[in-house]
Amino acid sequence: MTKKHSYAALATPLLIALTLLFAASPNVRANGVGATDQPPATAAEVKIDNFSFGPQSLTVPVGTTVTWTNRDDIPHTVVSTDGVFKSKVRDTDEKFSYTFSAAGTYSYFCSLHPKMTGKIVVQ
Amino acid sequence: MTNNHQDLIDQKLQDLNNDGIDRRGFLKCMAWAGTGLVWTMSGGIPVSRAFAKNISKHAGGGGDFSFVQISDSHMGFNKPANPDVVATLQAAVNKINALPAPPDFLLHTGDISHLSRPEQFDTVDQVLKSASAKDVFFVPGEHDVLDDNGKSYLARYGKSSQGAGWYSFDHKGVHFIGLVNVMNLKAGGLGSLGGEQLEWMKKDVKHLKHSTPIVVFAHIPLWSVYPEWGWGTDDSAQALACLKKFGSVTVLNGHIHQTMQKVEGNVTFHTAMSTAFPQPQPGKADSPGPMKVPADQLKTLLGITDVNYVQRPHSLAVVDSALG
């Protein structure tokens, strides 16, 4: 009797655990690894006006896609100082996007007009 | 040299020292002869023509010659500041062809194209074919080396150059040095020549006599015009140090789409107008972007630079002429 009882006592929580695990797994796949501790993917924008990046410093959560839009009459580029990302030349109204999947501070500049600098802080 | 002439020289020196270039003064006097250089600036065509005639009249031996600097044709640009850069480049060529003394060759100080596209380079080459001078020497602007690290520029214009496209040549006793300061620019920095090019330059001028007139041409100014807008070159002092021994050094640049000049010891610095669109004076606008002016004023802010070399007494006259 005691033996039987102990089996049942063990089996019930195990079944619950297994059920939970299977039920949870599609969720894990849909939201990506770490779905529970990350907000959903977001987007942010940087405008290029008058030979400057605005905002010059932008703070975004991990997973954010940042899109730069050149609104000058002169082409610019968006180039990471540490070689993480590099746009092709962007003429008037052309865009460049990059998704930041890791936390950190990303400094960048325009390789044509290197006085133009900016940074994205990913948290 | 007459006393009168000396007065004019003194006046010019004063103008230059005051740092405010008095264009009216230049129109009146037109000539400054100091350290073997004759310097001229003028705002309009007739004056430059008159002066160019004057130069050729006083020209001495058979070694005299002239060449023309053009710059910043930005082929492919089509924004309101100038929707037709082909027409203004053609106007520049017409201006060259109307010079009283045909130039021996042309220098193009970069930003030939707006976006480094083959068809943009093709158009410039095509328009320049109608110039009286057939030889054109190029250095790249930052707009000519986009996306491919200058590969297509070098394939087209850099066949007899070294590194990123630098080279030198001699013409009738004058040594010309074409430099590249638009590659590998660093965040927060200015134009850059780089160690390899500076080493090459040192060797290039080593064997030359001190009396050899030197003409250096590069896209971004080799002097600090306005660093806040990136109008300068980080390591230009090292390049100029190689040229200290020479009595006459003329530095010709583009990039800033307006004329500006400075004399420092043996070195005369000069920037040329664009053939495409004007840019604001340093700090006079929110950014150095293309400046939209009334259509009837555009051609007064675009132009060419005619440089006359007179063998005796080793003089170089730099004459800027607006297109209209």
HEC assignment per residue over chain A = CHHHHHHHHHHHHHHHHHHHHHHHHHHHHHHCCCHHHCCCCCEEEEEEECCEEECCEEEECCCCEEEEEECCCCCECCEECCCCCECCCECCCCEEEEECCCCEEEEEECCCCCCCEEEEEEC
Is residue B153, in this structure, part of any structural domain at all?
yes
| Cβ-defined contact of B289 to A50 (cutoff 8 Å) | yes
* CA–CA dist A90, B251 (Å, integer): 32
Residues of chain B with pLDDT under 70: 1-63, 311-315
Answer whether B37's CB lies under 8 Å from B9's CB: no
Q: What are phi and psi of B293, to 5 degrees?
A: -125, 160
d(CA A70, CA B284): 22
A90 interaction partners in chain B (CB closer than 8 Å): none
In CATH terms, the superfamily for domain A43-122 is Cupredoxins -  blue copper proteins (2.60.40.420)
Mean pLDDT, chain A, as a whole number?
Answer: 81
| B290–chain A nearest CA distance, Å | 7
d(CA B278, CA B290): 6
Tell me, what's the pLDDT at B149? 92
- Count the neighbouring beta carbons within 10 Å of the beta carbon of residue B166: 23
Question: Is the complex ipTM higher than 0.95?
Answer: no
Q: pLDDT at position B311, please?
A: 66
- The pLDDT, as a whole number, for residue B321 is 83
Mean pLDDT of A100-105: 98
- Which of A53, A80, A90, A112 best tests the B interface by mutation, with the highest count of B CBs <10 A? A112
Contact B306, B68 (CB under 8 A): yes
Confidence (pLDDT) at B47: 25
User: Which residues touch B303 (CB under 8 Å, ≥6 apart)?
Assistant: B92, B95, B259, B272, B273, B275, B320, B321, B322, B323
Residue A6 in this model has a pLDDT that exceeds 60: no
- Asked whether the beta carbons of B243 and B267 are under 8 A apart, the reply is yes
For chain B, the residues whose C-beta falls within 8 A of a C-beta of chain A are 79-81, 114-116, 142-143, 146-147, 185-190, 227-230, 286-290
Task: For residue B322, tell me if it sits in a domain.
Answer: no
Any domain includes B305: no
- DSSP β-bridge partners for residue B106: B68, B136
Range of the domain at B219: 68-294
pLDDT given for residue B265 in this prediction: 86
Which pLDDT score, from 0 to 100, does residue B190 have?
97
Confidence class of residue A82 from pLDDT cuts 50, 70 and 90?
very high
- In percent, the amount of chain A with pLDDT more than 90 equals 67
* CATH code of residue B132: 3.60.21.10
Instruction: Note whether residue B312 is domain-resident.
Output: no
The alpha-carbon gap from B146 to the nearest alpha carbon of chain A, in Å, equals 7
User: Total structural domains in chain B?
Assistant: 1
* C-alpha–C-alpha distance, residues B163 and B68, integer Å: 25
pTM: 0.80
CB contact under 8 A, B185 and A111: yes
Report the pLDDT value the prediction gives residue B58, as an integer from 0 to 100: 40
Distance from CA of B316 to the nearest CA of A (A): 32
User: Which whole number is the average pLDDT over A43-70?
Assistant: 98
Residue partners of B9: CB distance under 8 A and separation at least 6 = B31, B32, B33, B34
The pLDDT assigned to B10 comes to 37
Exposure b/e, B25-57, CB count within 10 A at least 16 = b: bbeebbbbbeeebbbbbbbebebbbebbebbee
Which one of B115, B228, B287 has the shortest CB-CB distance to A89?
A: B115
- Residue B94 forms part of a structural domain: yes
- Joined together, the tokens standing for residue A8 give 């049942």
Shortest alpha-carbon distance between residue B191 and chain A (Å): 9
> In Å, how far from its chain's centre is CA B45?
17
Q: Quick one: pLDDT at residue B263?
A: 87
Q: Best interface-test mutation with B: which of A48, A115, A117, A119 has the largest number of B CBs within 10 A?
A: A115
Q: What CA–CA distance (Å, rounded) separates A64 from A102?
A: 10
Evaluate whether B40 touches B319 at the Cβ level (below 8 Å): yes
Count of CB atoms situated within 10 Å of the CB of B87: 14
| Amino acid identity for residue B24 in this structure | R
Would you kindly state where each structural domain of chain A is located, as residue ranges? Answer: 2-37, 43-122
At residue B84, the pLDDT reads: 96
| Closest Cβ opposite residue A114 in set B146, B186, B289 | B186
Tally A–B CB contacts below 8 A. Answer: 58
